[in-house]
């Protein structure tokens, strides 16, 4: 490849480029509906999926996206690799590069480490989520899902609810939604708010009831228990009292408003189980659409990166 375009966070994309990726995602979404769900855009390219942290959605959808574009995909998992014999992450990436991989998709538990690896390799790197820092492809697929639901983006009111402090999804979503002209409010108790709040340029609230009637998008975040060594919240019961989306709250939402969640959902914490079977609410829940759109958006992003960001 004659260029190296890394996507570490949403700021690596200009607004025009985001718009182009969403437009191309429309075409790829159509490919996914065909009997033969494949185009040869990346034929003979090799994508390596390197996941140092668990994943279902991101890992599988990157694999599917690359395969739908005709690329070969190698899945690397930390468990079962020579990392267990002491090989470093950098040496692992160099080893894979030596086998002529063309692009690496990397998830890592340490914030900033994907960027470090990207700076030290000459193949393009896409961040599939690093620690609390960023999850740019989640933000792109979220934006695409919102656009598909409303046929517009600018001016929409988005409420992002829950564990903002530990969430890379929240950080990338906030940045991208702000840049695209949406009106963002984050809702969390003070112990789950990030420390440098002023950086985020958002409205804040502490209870879901403060925003539920006005929001167009109610974006429920996963409680990041694996990053909460300090036990940021007194109890799940207390959390649900102020932050969980239950039927009473969901019924107060605007008629056209939607519910999103990056997955995996902790049922009966962020969203009460009964909502998934409640007919009047089911249509609002876009979680499966987010997953489907994730494949098309990642196809569009891979296509963009392999074409040096030109198309």
Smallest CA-to-CA distance from 136 within 173, 82, 185 is with 173
Residue 57 interacts with ligand CP (CB under 6 A)?
Answer: yes
Q: How far is the CB of 134 from ligand CP (least distance, A)?
A: 11
> In terms of CB distance, is 62 or 212 closer to ligand CP?
62
> In terms of CB distance, is 75 or 204 closer to ligand CP?
75
Q: Is 44 left (phi over 0), alpha (psi -120 to 50) or beta?
A: left
Q: How far is the CB of 77 from ligand CP (least distance, A)?
A: 13
Residue 124 interacts with ligand CP (CB under 6 A)?
Answer: no
Q: How far is the CB of 7 from ligand CP (least distance, A)?
A: 15
Contact stretch for ligand CP (CB under 6 A) within 53-61, 77-85, 170-178, 235-243:
53-61
Smallest CA-to-CA distance from 102 within 311, 300, 297, 308 is with 308
Q: How far is the CB of 60 from ligand CP (least distance, A)?
A: 8
| Cα(178)–Cα(211) distance, integer angstroms | 18
Report in angstroms the alpha-carbon separations of 108 from 5, 97, 115, 292: 19, 18, 10, 23
Residue 131 interacts with ligand CP (CB under 6 A)?
Answer: no
> In terms of CB distance, is 96 or 260 closer to ligand CP?
260
| Cα(29)–Cα(276) distance, integer angstroms | 25
Count, residues near ligand CP per rule CB under 6 A? 10
| Cα(49)–Cα(194) distance, integer angstroms | 30
Angle at 197 between CA 125 and CA 147, to 5 degrees: 55
> In terms of CB distance, is 196 or 288 closer to ligand CP?
288
Residue that is written with structure tokens 């990056």 in the block: 262
SS3 11: helix
**Stretch 210-249: interaction string toward ligand CP, x if CB under 6 A:** ----------------------------------------
Residue that is written with structure tokens 């903002």 in the block: 164
Contact stretch for ligand CP (CB under 6 A) within 56-64, 85-93, 177-185, 274-282:
56-64
The single residue among 26, 37, 38, 56 that binds ligand CP, judged by CB under 6 A, is: 56
Residue 162 interacts with ligand CP (CB under 6 A)?
Answer: no
The single residue among 129, 136, 162, 189 that binds ligand CP, judged by CB under 6 A, is: 129
Q: Which two tokens stand for residue 233?
A: 């919240």
Residue 138 interacts with ligand CP (CB under 6 A)?
Answer: yes
| Cα(104)–Cα(125) distance, integer angstroms | 5
Q: How far is the CB of 56 from ligand CP (least distance, A)?
A: 4
Express the helix, strand and coil content of the chain in percent, nearest 5 each: 45, 15, 40
| Cα(287)–Cα(237) distance, integer angstroms | 24
Rule CB under 6 A: which of 247-286 touch ligand CP?
Answer: 262-264
> In terms of CB distance, is 20 or 108 closer to ligand CP?
108
Residues that bind ligand CP (CB under 6 A): 55-59, 129, 138, 262-264
């Amino acid at each position: 490849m004659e260029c190296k375009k890394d996507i570490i966070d949403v700021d690596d994309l200009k607004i025009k480029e985001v718009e182009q990726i969403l437009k191309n995602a429309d075409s790829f979404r159509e490919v996914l509906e065909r009997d033969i769900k494949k185009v040869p855009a990346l034929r003979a390219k090799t994508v390596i999926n390197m996941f140092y942290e668990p994943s279902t959605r991101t890992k599988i959808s990157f694999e599917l996206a690359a395969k739908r574009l005709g690329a070969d995909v190698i899945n690397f998992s930390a468990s079962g690799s020579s990392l267990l014999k002491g090989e470093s992450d950098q040496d692992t990436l160099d080893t894979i590069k030596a086998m002529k991989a063309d692009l690496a998709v990397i998830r890592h538990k340490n914030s900033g480490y994907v960027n470090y690896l990207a700076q030290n390799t000459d193949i393009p790197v896409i961040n599939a989520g690093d620690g609390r820092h960023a999850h740019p492809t989640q933000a792109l697929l979220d934006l695409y899902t919102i656009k598909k639901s409303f046929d517009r983006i600018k001016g929409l009111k988005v409420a992002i609810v829950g564990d903002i402090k530990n969430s890379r999804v929240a950080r990338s979503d906030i940045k991208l939604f702000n840049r695209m002209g949406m009106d963002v409010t984050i809702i969390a108790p003070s112990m789950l708010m990030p420390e440098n709040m002023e950086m985020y340029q958002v409205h804040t609230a502490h209870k879901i009831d403060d925003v539920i009637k006005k929001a167009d998008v109610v974006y429920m975040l996963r409680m990041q228990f694996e990053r909460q060594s300090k036990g940021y919240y007194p109890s799940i019961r207390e959390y649900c009292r102020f932050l969980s989306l239950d039927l009473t709250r969901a019924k107060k939402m605007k008629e056209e408003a939607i519910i999103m969640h990056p997955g995996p959902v902790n049922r009966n914490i962020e969203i009460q189980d009964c909502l998934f079977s409640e007919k009047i609410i089911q249509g609002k829940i876009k979680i499966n659409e987010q997953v489907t759109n994730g494949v098309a958006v990642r196809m569009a992003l891979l296509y963009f990166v392999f074409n040096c960001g030109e198309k």
